[in-house]
Amino acid sequence: MTQPLISFRDVHKAFGPKKVYTGLDLDVFEGETLVILGGSGVGKSVMLKMLIGLLQADRGSIRFRGQEIVGMSEKALLPVRRQVAMIFQASALFDSISVGDNVAYGLHEHLHRTMSAAEIQKRVAWALELVGLPGVETMRPGDLSGGMKRRVGVARAIALQPEVLLYDEPTTGLDPINTTRINHLIRGMQRTLKVTSLVVTHDMGSAFSVADRIAMVHKGQIILQGKPEEFRASPDPRVRDFIHGMAPEGESLQSLLDG
């Protein structure tokens, strides 16, 4: 059987009395797009942040290419963060610098000793062209639409040429046209760059558009994982209610989302 690129085993995470994960088990395989599905507040983004060490698991194991992430020092995490790049929900661009400098930021942080200024400029242009925004290097983030900012965030991530892309709610707040554009971009990155992608969302349309597999988080654990057609056919009422936007009898929809 193929070994997973990323594995979570019996991962626990709490913030004070709030238990987010109580035994997370999940495998991610090389080259796939895995969508992490679940309501607001169930810990989808926490999973991504634990993978790159922005948050530490309380216990359990998180491995990338067999290397244990839990307990790893900041210095040891640097090579991991070059290979596993996160695209944040709000793009997290620096408004005080140009688009080109935003895209180059990770290159200056991680590769300034091995890349010349000309090579960095060329890589920035390559990344922006790949996301459909050629020639915008001198613009400021404040001059961009919401959809363009998301694409610049993707360009910044792919400039490092990572193995894995982590998308944190990539379509939240976007209109339908830009949502479709971002969904196509996620699929395009997989085809063009052969990357592995983890996509966190609660948008069922996006999930079915981009996923090779889907894993659903509910009350601290993965309750179902499989191909999109398996989700559509699932008899589990928690899955069916989430897909169709309904709460089980006796529960409010908000209580379901809060997990």
pLDDT at 176: 92
Nearest residue to 171 (alpha-carbon basis) of 158, 156, 181, 159: 181
Mean pLDDT computed over every residue of the chain: 90
Q: What is the pLDDT of residue 163?
A: 96
Q: What percent of the chain has pLDDT over 90?
A: 75
CATH number of the domain that residue 42 is part of: 3.40.50.300
Tokens of 170: 């990539």
Q: 158 lies in a domain?
A: no
- 28-42 pLDDT, tens digit per residue, is 999 999 999 988 888
Structural domain contains residue 145: no
- The arithmetic mean of pLDDT across residues 66-88, rounded, is 93
Least confident of 23-32, 39-48, 181-190: 39-48
Does a structural domain hold residue 38?
yes
Please compute the mean of the pLDDT values over residues 185-214 and round it to a whole number.
94
* Residue 113 pLDDT exceeds 90: no
Is residue 37 included in any domain, yes or no? yes
* pLDDT score of 227 more than 90: yes
Contact 6, 63 (CB under 8 A): yes
Reported as a pLDDT band with limits 50, 70 and 90, residue 252 is very low
Confidence of residue 1 (pLDDT cuts 50, 70, 90): low
Segment 182-200 mean pLDDT: 95
Rounded average pLDDT over 222-235: 93
Structural domain boundaries enclosing 40: 6-93+163-258
pTM: 0.89
Position 81 in a domain = yes
pLDDT surpasses 70 at 247: no
Average pLDDT of the residues in 18-32: 96
73 domain residue, yes or no: yes
Domain count, the chain: 1
Q: What is the mean pLDDT of residues 186-197?
A: 94
pLDDT at 144 over 70: yes
Residue 61 and residue 64: Cα distance in Å, rounded? 10
CB atoms within 10 A of CB 249: 7
What b/e string do you get for 156-175 counting C-beta neighbours within 10 Å, with b at 16 or more? bbbbbbbbbbbbbbbbbebe
User: Is 103 domain-assigned?
Assistant: no
**Pairwise CA distance, residues 108 & 156, whole Å:** 11
Q: Cα–Cα–Cα angle for 92, 179, 164, nearest 5°?
A: 55
